[in-house]
A and B are shown apart, each in its own frame.
Chain A
């Protein structure tokens, strides 16, 4: 009887181990005609990378005679970064903020600490910023950040504790408060007032967009520029308007080769070429069509009507980098917590 028991558990674990072996072996293909690249990215980039992947695969095939297939993974930026640290074998990480890739270097030791220097423009092939999305006709007359802290205005933004996108919103508001009031104390006061007008803190940026667009809650949505365009042009055509504030933050979604994984898979060369491809005029045009601000000056000139000029602050210059900003504003006991415990 005891033998049977052992047999049963052995059978169960044998099954798991077989599955493990199956899924463990499928990447090391000796066939040099095809190569597989795993790109772990954040939520809104599906359409973007679909187009980019096709274009790159064509180019790579023409130049090297090798077929590249892509495995795409999308999710919240922080969650994706944790997955890579914990063993999701991404060849390239294309995430929402440098902080999340820093964490992979810092905690996972999967790529060098100075990864940002390995590609042009801080390893951020495109930029974006935070703008306002208001309802058609702008009934609350929202023109700038100051209007968001007024009584009776309802602001939709996600929770910066759980959403990377929400951190950009918070810091953009802070930058305005600091400029308008002249000090960090004034900024805190302004931001407190603004968050006093927030009725719902969704856990992710896309949840906020849905709350604003589908549920009809709130007068203004703080959103990434590309998300705002998407909402204005596709989700609710003719129902929304974009308002560009006087000051905002330069968002630099970063990309990097996860070198340890790439080494293991033998994909270093193709991974590097893939990321460099993002800087070519061809990819930059795709990027601009997906409402991200291109880096390439010529492509940027071509799309300049789409992207208004805004006075943009940067995390590195104005907030001392992501590590510091995260610790000061968003970690436990940081400014964001203070705003909510004060009330």
Chain B
């Protein structure tokens, strides 16, 4: 253990706490076995198909339209979730009101409900004859079978990510700093922007990133409400399924590779911004 820590002193700051070797080693092993090795098969399969074939499938006009739709709707849903997720987390942490425990439990529902069920339920609500759709239809607002429907499905899928990322940090944030700010004459809005937001910022960003990443790949709930029109409401995961239907495993992995690399880059970017802002906050 000491030997291990010493040899790695270059990339790790020394610490009095024990257990780095064990926890880091175990995490890395488990990560490699469960996530990295299986995911590597995607790249392996894609590598076998050759560059031009990969380009033809992974970057066809149709695929590009699908990426635009998937990443665009996921980003829109992520923004909606960041705003309202913060609001929900705030209300749940800071206020007392009847039924709060039930509401709090409700937030996690999208994790538990099979995605296909969510898709069916949402389609039933927003279809032109649905509970909500029937009031929107006369106004000329179409939700089901349009990109708006996709965004709604992704908002549903991603909401818990934001609430659950922000909530523990918000709860852990002592009121003493806020009190101090108030004593020093800061208005409530100032306190929120200057004190609270920076503290929960990283968690909020994490929530957004997770909701976004989850939305990009979502399939089960979206196919029911999207309408699947080629070039218009055809999401990228649907293209993967289309490739599989043709028994074109390498085509499917080509699209999967493009999506994964893009999601990975976005997630990594967000995590780097976070690490940077945390360092800045500490300095």
Contacts and interface: CB of A to CB of B under 8 A. Distances in A.
A162 B245 contact: yes
Interface in B15-33: 21-22, 25-26, 29-30, 33
B62 A337 contact: yes
Interface in A39-65: none
A159 B239 CA distance: 12
B50 to A, nearest CB: 16
A305 interface: no
Nearest to B144: A215
Contact of B228 (A79, A82, A200, A337): A200
Interface residues of B, number: 37
B37 to A, nearest CB: 13
The prevalent SS among residues of B at the interface is helix
A199 B226 CA distance: 11
Nearest to A340: B230
Interface in A214-270: 214-217
Contacts of B54: none
Given A5-B29, A9-B30, A199-B145, A215 B130 contact: yes
Interface of B: 1, 21-22, 25-26, 29-30, 33, 57, 60-62, 123-124, 127-130, 144-145, 223-224, 227-231, 238, 241-248, 251
A103 interface: yes
A201 B22 contact: no
Contacts of A337: 62, 230
12 contacts: A5-B29, A78-B244, A103-B247, A161-B242, A201-B227, A202-B228, A215-B123, A216-B127, A332-B251, A337-B62, A341-B62, A341-B230
Contacts of B243: 332
Contact of B124 (A8, A82, A215, A340): A215
Given A1-B21, A82-B244, A161-B242, A341 B130 contact: no
Contacts of B62: 337, 341
A340 B239 CA distance: 14
A203 B242 CA distance: 10
Nearest to B228: A201
Given A1-B22, A215-B123, A341 B61 contact: yes
B25 A5 contact: yes
Contact of A331 (B29, B241, B246): B246
